[in-house]
C-alpha cells in the first residue's frame, strides 16, 4: 500500500484529486453579453503544485501571478492539428502571426503572451521539461518538435517567472512537461520515500527483469490537404528503471497561403514534413534520488508557398537530470543539456502579376549550438515557508551563412555573420505566510551576460574580394530582476492577488548581426541594440464556489528599449543602411524604441453545470501602444503590430454518454495591424472549431475534428502591394488514439 500511495503522489501533477478541479461557469457580461465556448479550459484541472514560477513546486493557490494549467488529456482533446493551436485556447497566448506552426515559417513562430513581444523573436520563454525550446540563434520556437501524446500538462505563467528563469521571460513562461518528467522533479516530493527501498528484480531471469506489460500511447491521424500523422510513445520497465521511446512522423500537402483574389500561377501549397525520435531512461538511485538521461533527434522540411521559398531544420539534443531528496524538507535538482542544430531558408520576390519570382536570398546554413546547466534547491520550513534558490548557465553560438544580391541568374555575394552569447544567473525566492489568510513572495535574480566574437563579413562570390569585414567589440553587463507578490484569501471563496516583477532580455544573435529580406521588405541588423527591460504589475481577483469560478486580472507592462523593425525607407531607390529598395518595397532596421506600454484586462468564467457538461469563457482586452520613440517619433501612439485589442474564447465539453464526448470551441479576434506604422490592417475574425470522440473500448477511441468549421477568412498577412495572406481554411481531421 505504501508503494501505491507513493505512486499516486508522484503522478498527482497529471491526476489531481477531484476537489482540486476548476469548476466551470457561464461567462456573462463580456463583450456584448455573449457566451462563447472553450473546450480546453472547460476541462482544466488545477494541480496541487505548479513548478514554473519558482522552478520548485508551489501550491497553485499561493502563486501571485496569473497561472493556467492545461492537462495533457485536454491538449489532446482540443480540436486542432497542432499543439500551439491548442494553446490558443487561452486568449493571452499567441504566436507572432495568426498563422500557426502548421504553415508558418519557423522564424515567425515566436510566442507572445498578453501581446508583450509580438515579433518572430519570443519575449516569452518556452520550456520542455525545464530546457529552453527557444531557438539559440533567433529565439523563435519550433513547435513541431514538441510531443503531444506524451505530454502530462502545460503550465502558462503570464507576467511572471522572470526571477526564476531570467533572460527572455519578460512576458512569462510556457512550460510543457512530459509524463516521465513529472514522475519526480524537484519539489514533487516522494513523501514516503524513506519508508521503503526501491523495488529490485524479483528474479535474475530475463522474464523477471523485464516488465512484459509496457504502457504507451498511439495516435494516428489523417485529414484534408493530405495531412497524415502518427505518434507513438512507449514506456517499458527494465529492472528498477524505465525506458521511454517516442516518435512522430508528420506530413502535410498544404494549401495556398495567398488569398484567392490575389493568387497567381506562382503560388503553390505550403507543404511540410517532419519527424522526430526521442529516448529517455529514468533510473532510481538509492532510496530517494533519481537520474534521467534523454536524447532527441529532429528533422523538418517546409515549402513556404512558392517554388523558390523553402526551409529546413535539423537538431540533435541530449540532457541529464539528477533529482535528489535528502529529506522531506530539502530537495535539489541538477540539469545539463546540449543542443546542436542547423537551419536553412530561401526567400524570393514575386512580380506584380504573381506569374514569376526572383530569388532574394539563400540562407543556406545557420549552424547553432546551445549548452546549459542548472542547479535548483528547495527548502521547506515547519512554519510553511519555503526558500528556493538556484544557479544556471546558458551559452549559445551561431552564425548565418547566406548568399544574396541575385544578378544575371545567380547570387553574387556571400555573408557570414554571428557570434557567441552566454548568460550566468543566480536567483533566490522566499515564500511565507504573513498572516493566517495572507501569503507573500519575494525574490531577486542577478544575471551576468557576455557577447563575444561578433562578426559580419561579406565577400564577392566571383572574385573573393572582401566587401565588408566588421568585428564587434566584446559586450557585457549585469542585470537585476526582482519580483514580489501577495495572495490574500479575503474569504473562503475569494482570493486577491497582487504581483510585480522587473525583467530583461538581451537581443538574439539574429537581431544583432543578421539582416534579412522577405519579398521586397529589407531589414537591416543592428549590433548596437540595447538590452530590453520590462516592469510588470497585475492585480487579480478570483472567486470559486461550488461549481462556479470567476476570475479577473488587471495587468500593466512598461517595456523600455524595445527592439522593433522600424520602417526607414520606401522604394524605389538607394538608401543608407539598407541599400537598394525596389518599387513597393520597404527598408527597415532593428532599433530600440524608448518605451512601449502594454496594459489590459483578463476575465474568465467557468461552470460545471453537471458531471457531463462544462462551459467556459475567457476574454482579453489588450492596449499595446508605443508611448515614446525618439528615433521614430511618428510611431508614438501607434499600436504594436500583430496585437488585437480584444480576443474572446468560448468553449464546452459535453459527454452525453460514457463513450461519446463533444468539444466545441469559438474564438473571436479583433482587427490588428501587420506593420509598425499601422497602415496594413488585418480584419477581425470569428473561428469555430469542433471536436468529437467515441471510445470504442477502454483503451481506444475514434476522434474527428473540424478546424475553422465555417471556413472563415483568417487574414494573417498583408503586403505593401496589397497582397493578403490567409490562414487555415476548413480542415477536417480524423483518427484513432489508444492508451494502454
- What is residue 128's predicted lDDT score, i.e. its pLDDT? 95
**Annotation: CATH topology of 2-197+208-739:** Maltoporin; Chain A (2.40.170)
On the question of a cis peptide bond just before residue 572, with omega within 30 degrees of 0, the verdict is yes
- Give the pLDDT confidence of 155-208 residue by residue, as tens digits: 999 999 999 999 989 999 999 998 765 444 443 433 333 333 333 333 334 444
Which grid cell is 646? 480584444
Which grid cell is 630? 525618439
- Give the pLDDT confidence of 291-350 residue by residue, as tens digits: 999 999 999 999 999 999 999 999 999 999 999 999 989 999 999 999 999 999 999 999
Which grid cell is 490? 479575503
Say yes or no to pLDDT of 40 above 90: no
- Give the pLDDT band (50/70/90) at residue 581: confident
- What is residue 201's predicted lDDT score, i.e. its pLDDT? 35
3-state secondary structure 647-711: EEEEEEEECCCCCEEEEEEEEEECCEECCCCCCCEECCEEEEEEEEEEECCCCEEEEEEEECCCC
Say yes or no to pLDDT of 486 above 70: yes
- Give the pLDDT confidence of 57-111 residue by residue, as tens digits: 888 889 999 999 999 999 999 999 999 999 998 988 988 888 899 999 888 888 8
Average pLDDT of span 254-265: 96
Contact criterion met (CB below 8 Å) for 37 and 616: yes
More confident residue, 495 or 8: 495
In angstroms, the CA 177 to CA 187 distance is 14
- What is residue 165's predicted lDDT score, i.e. its pLDDT? 96
Q: Is 729 exposed, middle or buried (0-12, 13-18, 19+ CB in 10 A)?
A: middle
- Give the pLDDT confidence of 428-455 residue by residue, as tens digits: 999 999 999 999 999 999 999 999 999 9
Phi, psi of 563 (to 5 degrees): -75, 130
End-to-end CA distance of the chain: 23
CB atoms within 10 A of CB 648: 24
Average pLDDT of span 280-288: 94
In angstroms, the CA 500 to CA 483 distance is 6
- What's the pTM value of the predicted model, to 2 decimals? 0.88
Contact criterion met (CB below 8 Å) for 589 and 568: yes
Q: What is the DSSP letter of 384?
A: S
Strands 172-178 vs 125-128: parallel, antiparallel or unpaired: parallel
Amino acid at each position: 500500500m505504501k508503494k501505491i500511495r507513493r505512486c499516486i503522489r508522484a503522478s498527482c501533477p497529471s491526476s489531481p484529486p477531484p476537489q482540486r478541479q476548476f469548476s466551470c461557469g457561464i461567462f456573462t457580461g463580456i463583450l456584448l453579453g455573449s457566451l462563447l465556448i472553450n473546450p480546453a479550459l472547460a476541462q482544466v484541472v488545477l494541480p496541487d503544485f505548479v513548478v514554473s514560477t519558482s522552478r520548485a513546486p508551489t501550491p497553485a493557490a499561493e502563486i501571485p501571478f496569473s497561472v493556467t494549467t492545461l492537462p495533457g488529456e485536454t491538449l489532446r482533446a482540443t480540436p486542432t492539428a497542432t499543439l500551439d493551436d491548442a494553446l490558443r485556447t487561452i486568449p493571452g497566448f499567441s504566436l507572432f502571426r495568426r498563422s500557426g506552426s502548421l504553415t508558418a515559417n519557423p522564424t515567425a513562430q515566436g510566442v507572445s503572451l498578453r501581446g508583450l513581444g509580438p515579433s518572430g523573436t519570443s519575449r516569452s520563454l518556452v520550456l520542455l521539461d525545464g530546457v529552453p525550446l527557444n531557438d539559440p540563434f533567433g529565439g523563435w520556437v519550433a513547435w513541431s518538435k514538441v510531443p503531444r501524446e506524451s505530454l502530462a500538462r502545460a503550465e502558462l505563467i503570464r507576467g511572471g517567472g522572470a526571477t526564476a528563469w531570467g533572460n527572455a521571460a519578460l512576458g512569462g513562461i510556457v512550460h510543457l512537461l512530459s509524463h516521465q518528467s513529472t514522475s519526480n522533479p524537484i519539489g514533487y516530493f516522494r513523501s514516503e520515500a524513506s519508508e521503503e527501498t526501491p523495488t529490485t528484480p524479483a528474479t535474475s531471469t530475463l522474464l523477471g527483469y523485464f516488465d512484459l506489460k509496457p504502457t504507451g500511447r498511439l495516435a494516428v491521424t489523417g485529414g484534408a490537404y493530405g495531412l497524415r500523422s502518427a505518434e507513438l510513445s512507449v514506456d517499458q520497465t527494465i529492472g528498477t528503471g524505465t525506458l521511454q521511446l517516442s516518435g512522430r512522423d508528420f506530413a502535410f500537402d498544404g494549401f495556398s497561403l495567398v488569398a484567392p483574389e490575389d493568387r497567381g500561377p506562382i503560388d503553390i501549397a505550403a507543404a511540410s514534413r517532419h519527424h522526430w525520435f526521442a529516448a529517455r531512461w529514468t533510473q532510481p538511485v538509492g532510496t530517494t534520488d533519481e537520474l534521467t538521461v534523454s536524447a532527441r533527434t529532429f528533422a523538418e522540411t517546409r515549402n513556404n508557398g512558392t517554388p523558390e521559398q523553402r526551409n529546413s531544420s535539423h537538431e540533435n539534443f541530449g540532457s541529464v537530470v539528477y533529482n535528489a531528496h535528502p529529506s522531506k524538507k530539502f530537495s535539489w535538482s541538477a540539469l545539463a543539456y546540449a543542443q546542436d542544430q542547423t537551419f536553412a531558408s530561401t526567400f524570393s520576390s514575386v512580380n506584380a502579376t504573381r506569374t514569376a519570382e526572383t530569388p532574394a536570398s539563400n540562407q543556406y546554413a545557420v549552424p547553432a549550438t546551445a549548452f546549459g546547466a542548472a542547479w535548483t534547491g528547495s527548502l521547506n520550513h515547519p512554519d510553511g515557508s519555503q526558500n528556493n534558490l538556484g544557479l544556471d548557465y546558458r551559452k549559445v553560438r551561431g552564425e548565418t551563412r547566406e548568399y544574396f544580391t541575385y544578378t544575371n541568374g545567380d547570387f553574387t555575394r556571400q555573408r557570414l555573420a554571428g557570434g557567441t552569447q552566454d548568460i550566468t544567473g543566480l536567483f533566490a525566492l522566499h515564500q511565507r505566510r504573513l498572516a493566517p489568510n495572507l501569503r507573500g513572495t519575494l525574490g531577486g535574480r542577478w544575471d551576468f551576460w557576455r557577447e563575444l566574437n561578433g562578426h559580419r563579413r561579406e565577400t564577392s562570390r566571383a572574385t573573393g574580394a572582401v566587401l565588408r569585414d566588421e568585428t564587434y567589440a566584446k559586450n557585457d553587463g549585469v542585470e537585476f530582476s526582482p519580483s514580489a507578490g501577495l495572495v490574500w484569501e479575503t474569504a473562503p471563496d475569494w482570493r486577491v492577488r497582487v504581483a510585480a516583477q522587473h525583467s530583461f532580455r538581451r537581443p538574439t544573435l539574429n537581431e544583432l548581426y543578421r539582416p534579412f529580406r522577405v519579398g521586397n521588405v529589407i531589414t537591416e541588423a543592428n549590433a548596437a541594440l540595447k538590452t530590453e527591460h520590462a516592469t510588470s504589475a497585475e492585480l487579480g481577483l478570483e472567486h470559486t464556489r461550488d461549481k462556479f469560478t470567476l476570475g479577473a486580472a488587471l495587468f500593466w507592462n512598461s517595456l523600455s528599449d524595445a527592439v522593433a523593425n522600424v520602417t526607414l525607407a520606401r522604394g524605389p531607390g538607394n538608401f543608407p543602411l539598407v541599400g537598394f529598395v525596389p518599387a513597393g518595397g520597404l527598408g527597415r532596421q532593428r532599433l530600440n524604441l524608448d518605451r512601449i506600454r502594454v496594459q489590459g484586462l483578463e476575465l474568465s468564467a467557468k461552470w460545471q453545470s453537471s458531471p457531463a457538461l462544462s462551459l467556459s469563457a475567457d476574454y482579453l482586452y489588450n492596449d499595446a501602444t508605443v508611448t515614446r520613440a525618439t528615433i521614430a517619433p511618428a510611431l508614438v501612439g501607434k499600436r504594436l503590430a500583430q496585437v488585437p485589442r480584444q480576443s474572446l474564447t468560448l468553449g464546452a465539453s459535453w459527454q452525453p454518454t460514457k463513450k461519446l464526448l463533444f468539444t466545441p470551441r469559438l474564438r473571436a479576434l479583433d482587427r490588428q495591424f501587420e506593420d509598425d506604422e499601422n497602415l496594413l490592417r488585418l480584419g477581425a475574425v470569428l473561428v469555430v472549431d469542433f471536436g468529437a470522440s467515441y471510445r470504442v473500448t477502454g483503451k481506444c477511441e475514434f476522434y474527428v475534428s473540424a478546424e475553422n468549421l465555417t471556413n472563415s477568412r483568417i487574414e494573417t498577412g498583408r503586403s505593401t502591394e496589397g497582397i493578403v495572406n490567409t490562414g487555415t481554411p476548413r480542415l477536417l481531421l480524423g483518427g484513432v488514439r489508444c492508451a494502454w
